């Protein structure tokens, strides 16, 4: 049944670094993907992939693998369609949420707190660029910049932060042109 495979994909995604793509990754524990290989043609699978279906297939040698890790987001927007990107940005957002948590309800909106929080955000950005970094994947962030950080004009008890993220993208293709 397909729900076992869905659980395996969730486990696979939770067992790798947030910035690691899962395209062409082998899935152990399964002996057959005939639900995919016998029921659908390549054209049908391509159509499903364009609609955001994360397809699991089976190679001739029997290996079960993910064809491309996609989401149901807009296929034309890589930031929405690539599963790794949404997982990585979610992870980054939780890191910021965890950083902000100790300040909520026990500090005040003051210039000194603004400087403290801004400084901590910059430190977290530096950490996310290097922590869990590998040669193949890099860090969770390539770079980030705090575009704006200010007291809300409507809710005087909150800060508003706009942070531009430059995140790594999964290497899904290499385009080669040989010219003679």
pLDDT at 34: 76
33: buried, middle or exposed (CB in 10 Å: 19+, 13-18, 0-12)?
buried
Task: Using DSSP, state whether 147 is helix, strand or coil.
Answer: strand
Percent of the chain with pLDDT over 90: 58
Instruction: Give mean pLDDT, residues 20-45.
Output: 85
Instruction: Give mean pLDDT, residues 140-155.
Output: 97
pLDDT at 1: 58
Asked if the model's pLDDT at residue 99 lies above 90, the reply is yes
pLDDT at 28: 84
Predicted confidence (pLDDT) per residue in 65-81, tens digit? 888 888 888 888 888 88
Contact criterion met (CB below 8 Å) for 55 and 22? no
pLDDT at 3: 62
């Amino acid at each position: 049944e397909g729900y076992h495979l869905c659980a395996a994909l969730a486990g696979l995604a939770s067992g790798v670094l947030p910035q690691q793509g899962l395209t062409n990754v082998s899935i152990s524990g399964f002996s057959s993907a005939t639900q995919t290989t016998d029921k659908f043609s390549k054209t049908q699978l391509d159509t499903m992939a364009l609609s955001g279906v994360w397809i699991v297939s089976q190679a001739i040698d029997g290996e079960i693998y993910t064809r491309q890790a996609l989401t149901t987001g807009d296929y034309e927007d890589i930031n929405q369609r690539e599963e790794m990107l949404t997982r990585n940005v979610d992870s980054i957002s939780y890191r910021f949420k965890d950083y902000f948590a100790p300040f909520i309800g026990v500090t005040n909106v003051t210039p000194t707190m603004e400087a403290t929080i801004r400084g901590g955000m910059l430190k977290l950005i530096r950490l996310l660029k290097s922590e869990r970094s590998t040669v193949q994947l890099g860090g969770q962030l390539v770079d980030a910049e705090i575009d704006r950080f200010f007291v809300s004009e409507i809710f005087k008890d909150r800060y508003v932060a706009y942070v531009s993220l430059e995140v790594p993208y999964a290497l899904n293709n290499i385009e080669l042109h040989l010219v003679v």
